[in-house]
Amino acid sequence: MQKRKLGKRNLEVSAIGLGCMGMSFSYAPPFPDKGEMIALMRAAVDRGVTFFDTAEVYGPFTNEELVGEALEPVRDHVVIATKFGFNLNQDGSPGWQGLNSRPERIRQVADASLKRLRTGVIDLFYQHRVDPDVPIEDVAGAVKELIREGKVKHFGLSEAGAQTIRRAHAVQPVAALQSEYSLWWRRPEVEIIPTLEELGIGFVPYSPLGKGFLTGKMDETTEIARGDFRNTLPRFTPEARKANQAVVDLLTRIAKEKGATPAQIALAWLLAQKPWIVPIPGTTKLHRLEENIGAVNVQLTTDDLREIEEAASHIDVQGDRYPEHIEAMTNR
CATH code for the part of the protein at 3-327: 3.20.20.100
Residues 250-298 pLDDT 10s: 999 999 999 999 999 999 999 999 999 999 999 999 999 999 999 999 9
Report the chain's mean pLDDT, rounded to a whole number: 96
Q: What is the pTM of this model?
A: 0.97
Residues 13-40 pLDDT 10s: 999 999 999 999 888 778 899 999 999 9
**pLDDT reported for residue 4:** 98
Enumerate residues 6+ apart whose C-beta is below 8 A from 223.
none
**pLDDT reported for residue 91:** 75
Residues 148-167 pLDDT 10s: 999 999 999 999 999 999 99
Q: How far apart are CA 25 and CA 77, in angstroms?
A: 25
Active site residues per annotation: 58
Q: How far apart are CA 215 and CA 262, in angstroms?
A: 5
Q: How far apart are CA 43 and CA 57, in angstroms?
A: 25
Residues 97-129 pLDDT 10s: 899 999 999 999 999 999 999 999 999 999 999
- The type of residue at 181 is Y
pLDDT at 135 over 80: yes
Residues 216-250 pLDDT 10s: 999 999 999 998 999 999 999 999 999 999 999 99
Smallest Cα–Cα separation from 6: which of 196, 169, 265?
A: 196
Smallest Cα–Cα separation from 6: which of 209, 274, 266, 186?
A: 274
**pLDDT reported for residue 28:** 73
